[in-house]
Chains A and B, each alone.
Chain A
Amino acid sequence: MTGITSFGAYIPVYRLSRDTIANAWGRGSLKGERSIANSDEDSLTMAVDAGANCLSRLDRNQIDGLYFATTNAPYKEKLCAGVIATALDFRNDVATADFGNSLRAGTGALRAALDAVNAGSAGTILVTAADCRLAYPRSDQEQLFGDGAASLIIGKEGVIAEVENSLSINKEIIDVWRNDNDRFVRVGEGRFVLTEGYMASMKEVVSGLLKRAGKKSSDIGKLVIPSPDHRSSASLAKGLGFDPEKQMQDPLLGSLGHCGAAHPLMLLIAALEDAGPGDTILMASYGDGADAFVLRVTQEITKFRDIRGVKANLESRMALSSYEKFLSFRGIVEAVSGEPFRLLPSASNYWRDQESILRCYGSKCNKCGNCQFPVQRICGKCHAKDDYEKIRYSDKEGKVFTFTRDQLAGRSDDPVVVQTVFDMEDGARFYLMMTDCNPEEVAVGLPVELTFRRIHEGADFHNYFWKCRPLRKGGIHNG
């Protein structure tokens, strides 16, 4: 039996009210709020966070593959899945692949993972999808899009939702697209896009899969489909004989926004959080055709009540104060970047130190037990040489020892850098920047956890490293 063995979501802490966006343009608000990735986040970092939230009950050494899906990869040429697998501290002999270019990238990666596990080429694969799409300023999409990531682990042991059947269809159409040099997503004429794009493909895939699985709409406990707007998924469901009130997963446009390639998996996680043993879920995604899956929830679901899924992430939020800040975080208006560092950034230095920079390893002295981050070859306490055990700290929590709010080194749109010294339970001391916080609320003793972020662009590449953030409430962190 192959299926989902774990899930985890990540939604950036910042939310922007759609009224704020609408007021900036003097246009109508689509109501509710959308998530906004912080200035140090991108699809890759969000995918790491969601992936980590997926691993709370699993030994990460058991993972055989990592598939990453996004329409907004931070690199046009370079494997992002490889960075993510390293940040998640996976083995080196894992299969890695990036899936891109389509809103169906997430479900495409899911299908590939299911096939690999079914074929026996991998035992367990982590699929992590993330998106951070840009819509034209003032467009409906600017309000409707959201930023976020969703991860699933596919395997055969401890399955919480078995994938019983699936169907994919291909329907070529120019409806929603971005050319190679475009920044913003283009959307074609409204009626054409809706009727011949989304509606036509989704009708075909849902009815086709029901037929293939020998099921009627009434056999499905929950229909999980992203919606391009507030109404279309409900009218689609109604047309297919579903009761939108009882049988549909909320498409989360009001509280989150459409998270692109991650969104079908995000909605599936939301559905799993409410599901009970024996429930049947039909999940479908749209993008120049459609993918659909029928899943049956097992008894194992009862063990997954406190995971960091969609609910916990939605509850943990901070209001972004202005529309301008959103534009600036995404680089649509230009901010002065501030000065990240004076020494020469270096790809070889970054590569050499990747165990500490990416895997977040510190060292624990075998002689005296002293713990330090980053890895130190000579123990700072007893001076033992090259006699230590490496410890992964990315999944540990600490408490602030001292801090400052530095006004000199930040970006012009986010000028306060909270430099933080915090201690892990084993005594290891960290000195990192704090993100996703209200600087005025930082205090000695504040519990913090680690999060993977983009810290600067030195030497013309994305320098990723760890920051701390106030412990996000709800659900288990990747501990």
Chain B
Amino acid sequence: MHHVVLDRWSRGESALHRRDARAKTIVVLIFLIALATAQRAFLPLSLCYLGILAATIVAAGLPLGAALKRAAVVLPFTAVFVAISLAAGEPMRAAALVGKSYLSALAVLVLVSTTPLPELLRGLERMGVPRYLLMVAQFLYRYLFVISEEAQHMRAALQTKSGTLRRALWDRGKFAAAGGALGVLFARSYAHAEGIHQAMLARGFRGHFLTLSGRSFGRADVFFVAAALVIVAGARAAVEAWI
């Protein structure tokens, strides 16, 4: 599954994996903003940025081909708008849509595949994102697999009980059955949440998570942000001056 692979990637041991989550978040934001505001000489710039991201992926010890393929999930959505842009006679805009959406997704992918999610959320908390929201996000991520598995069981049960022959037009009974299945799933999720909370209280939960790896924003992180800023902004300035 997608996220399991990301989890494994994020626990590597490269220099990029060791940087503080805040430093990596700042760098990705710089990259995204530089990319989003670019207008002139977009084609050479996007090739240049693709090269930078590819080099980063290789340096982090991640499989380049798999990462490039994974970021392509944005492309089906983009294809529709590319077709519209081409039909409207704006090939440059079509190219910009593909380039910007793909490179943005790839940059975010590099961030989450070099930073374990708990560490990333902890970094965001230190950057001022409300802790309550981040704790909800962390629980959501953790229980995604549990509840999804239950949903898969229910789907299988639903299919065995109602058969697979579809009625031609409208089947009220099946619709209601799917509603019932989700109602049961909802109630079970609710019960899960209560059990989880009691277990947490029993283990001494005091209102926020503790993480084991206490990484701090060191000199290497300052250097990393500065270097990334120079590379990202410099590449854009150089390409725009050269064209």
Q: Do A and B come from one complex?
A: no
